[in-house]
Structure 1
């Protein structure tokens, strides 16, 4: 059968699909990966380098330039204002880590409406939706698998345009499903936004439009999920992208090794914790610290003697030698650390509610099981807080044992290869 994956222009999102796409391809199915392109965050070559055929849809984006322009505009507006600057906020103590069930609990409809009016239109411009539909009508896929975080308009419309089965791909947390259930008595702004789009193509909204015929969920089963949803659970298998493994990764270690990374997409969009705070926190740590912050080491501040700064190193090669990893909570880093049984110290990024689209769904149970530590939100991170958290994890061998145990539980789930027969059956059942 023919299977079309739809993703946004971000390598992290693309990489989350790759193990399943390859499992389907090696099972004999034809696979294509369609995306809008972004000059900084995703090119056609990025898709092709995964070994999967690329399909370009929509007008090209330049997200980094758009963000820089927005920041400059905000700064200019601030200078033009005659109002005195606001007083500095009073010091606050550490915040309690929110639970996933608290996401937009006061007004889920407002959060959902914001996604419907701003978030999804950004990733699903008319050119993207039309490109997805035109390609689907030419290639005639049997199944469309779409990224629930970003492609909630183009995915369902393209699938319905050709009578294909379609499935949401949910990695991190099913935050969209959570919001729609919580706001169901107030209305559904996503449906209101989608109905006129569907009408343009002679299509009608139905019960599966926004939920997919089913949802593929490559997360461990302790991940928090909203009530009443059904998932095809699948083992999270990390893919770190095309890479070369440096020799030093396998050097004999005299001290424990720690990895600090802000991921791929988040480091490019400057969404993580302060570099200077991270480096200060590990300066006197009795460990080798590998910092993968995605920039030329010459651009970094003066490095402590125990720090090795690299632009990129595949985490699947590095983390097996690590005693801990500090990261922003992204899916790729989480999945790689889980697979290799590495204790995780999480500092969620600064993009609004993104923390509810990932780390807050899996972190609480791992923390309760002694396999992870919620360090702080990014705006409350201090060198002392991170230093103390690292010392705690490195000095207590139970963290390593617990992380290995959690990794073994996740590994017991069906692999992408194991999941192919179920996907074949579901596609045959739902395809028009």
Structure 2
């Protein structure tokens, strides 16, 4: 069969899809990855065939011209306590949050020309199955237009489904649905009616542990996450056993790629927290992130090193913002985690908050604080707890065993073949 993957503009989202795309390819299926022109080089470096759809997005310039990224009014309880709650909503209202999500994705990621471009390709190539990023709505729309089966592939929390479930009664009572208002006219131009699958797909590939949380009524297909870091060389020192506990600090690649400032924990706070700590600290920060900061003697800075190589080599803890790649790689390698979620609008509710609270409840990590309220003392205390208490490593090893019991991408292929045969319809 022919399988079309549709990603959003960030490498981290693309990298989640790559292992499943290669599993389908090595099973003998044709695979193409579609994304904005800005991501064309990254797609090419995965070794998979790719096509560019829509116009260049120039995210760095677009986001730089937008509103300030930190908005304390978005999460009053999180601002007062330093930690957020997954059941809360940005600005205290699910409707406001879904309006913000729809407007942002529509204006920044997928303007209307992208839909028509992808629909044109789908009519030409005729995929049997389309697998889309949760925000890549051109994928579900194109699939409906050509009669392909269509699924989403989540990264962490299925926030879109959560929001729509919370608003179901209000929408039924006549409250305008911003996603429907956006997608329905596009579908109508191609003679297709809107239904909920235009937003949520016909099923959802879910590469996260069950304790992250799932929305009732959504058909989830669990899959073990296989981390992919993209092409990179691994320095020789990574394979040398550390003489002290190794601690890794990262701020992720998505915001670095878009050069979003003001959303990550200040580097000076990170360095102050680990200065004097009896540990070998590896900080994956580029020159812009470092911005001339004084680096403590126990810290090694490196622009990038693949975590699939770094974390298996005796890593005792990792500090990160709840990014999907860091989380999955740490789980796979039984590394205890310290989570510091971003305060960039509603982003922390798409995974970091659930990851932080879930790891903490299972004794495999610490939810230190949100980035805007983090202090060096709080981060230092979280790291000390993990390094001094062996139960964190033991619980992380238990979670690794649970993850390894989930179906691998290769093992998921027969289920995708079956579901595609069930949901594919006659194509115009």
Q: Could you tell me the TM-score, scaled by structure 2's length? A: 0.91
Query: Among residues 383, 397, 402, which one is paired with 1:404 in the alignment?
Result: 397
Residue deviations 1:61-95 (CA, integer Å, cap 9, x gap): 11112222336xx79xxxxxxxxxxxxxxxx9971
Question: For 1:110 and 1:298, how far apart are their aligned partners in 2?
Answer: 35
Please list, as runs of the form range in 1=range in 2, the aligned pairs for 1:31-50 lying within 5 A after superposition.
31-38=31-38, 42=39, 44-50=40-46
1:276 Cα deviation after fit: 0.9
Query: Among residues 207, 232, 251, which one is paired with 1:243 in the alignment?
Result: 232
In structure 1, the partner of 2:122 is 136
Residue deviations 1:99-119 (CA, integer Å, cap 9, x gap): 322335942122222222333
Secondary structure of the 2:5 match is strand
Secondary structure of the 1:351 match is coil
Query: Among residues 83, 86, 106, which one is paired with 1:120 in the alignment?
Result: 106
Measured at CA, do residues 3 and 130 of structure 1 come closer, stay the same or move farther in structure 2, by a change above 3 Å?
same
In structure 1, the partner of 2:18 is 18
1:37 Cα deviation after fit: 2.5
In structure 2, the partner of 1:310 is 302
Please list, as runs of the form range in 1=range in 2, the aligned pairs for 1:181-192 lying within 5 A after superposition.
181-187=165-171, 188-192=177-181
1:332 Cα deviation after fit: 0.5
Please list, as runs of the form range in 1=range in 2, the aligned pairs for 1:42-191 lying within 5 A after superposition.
42=39, 44-70=40-66, 95=81, 97-104=83-90, 106-148=92-134, 150-152=135-137, 154-187=138-171, 188-191=177-180
Structure 1: which 5+ runs fail to align?
76-91
In structure 2, the partner of 1:382 is 375
Secondary structure of the 1:102 match is coil
Measured at CA, do residues 422 and 119 of structure 1 come closer, stay the same or move farther in structure 2, by a change above 3 Å?
same
Secondary structure of the 1:235 match is coil
Question: For 1:264 and 1:294, how far apart are their aligned partners in 2?
Answer: 10
Is the CA contact 2:91–2:97 (under 8 Å) kept in the aligned structure 1?
no
In structure 1, the partner of 2:200 is 211
Question: For 1:296 and 1:59, how far apart are their aligned partners in 2?
Answer: 27
Is the CA contact 1:3–1:31 (under 8 Å) kept in the aligned structure 2?
yes
Is the CA contact 2:267–2:290 (under 8 Å) kept in the aligned structure 1?
no
Question: For 1:99 and 1:105, how far apart are their aligned partners in 2?
Answer: 13
Q: Could you tell me the TM-score, scaled by structure 1's length? A: 0.90
In structure 1, the partner of 2:331 is 338
In structure 2, the partner of 1:327 is 320
Question: For 1:127 and 1:94, how far apart are their aligned partners in 2?
Answer: 42
1:48 Cα deviation after fit: 0.8
Measured at CA, do residues 162 and 114 of structure 1 come closer, stay the same or move farther in structure 2, by a change above 3 Å?
same
Question: For 1:305 and 1:263, how far apart are their aligned partners in 2?
Answer: 23
RMSD, aligned α-carbons = 1.9
200-209 or 366-375, which deviates more: 200-209
Is the CA contact 1:172–1:358 (under 8 Å) kept in the aligned structure 2?
yes
Please state if 1:286 is matched with 2:275. Answer: no
Question: For 2:7 and 2:361, how far apart are their aligned partners in 1?
Answer: 33
1:97 Cα deviation after fit: 3.2
98-107 or 333-342, which deviates more: 98-107
Question: For 2:62 and 2:85, how far apart are their aligned partners in 1?
Answer: 32
Question: For 2:161 and 2:179, how far apart are their aligned partners in 1?
Answer: 11
Is the CA contact 1:297–1:311 (under 8 Å) kept in the aligned structure 2?
no
Query: Among residues 176, 183, 188, which one is paired with 1:199 in the alignment?
Result: 188
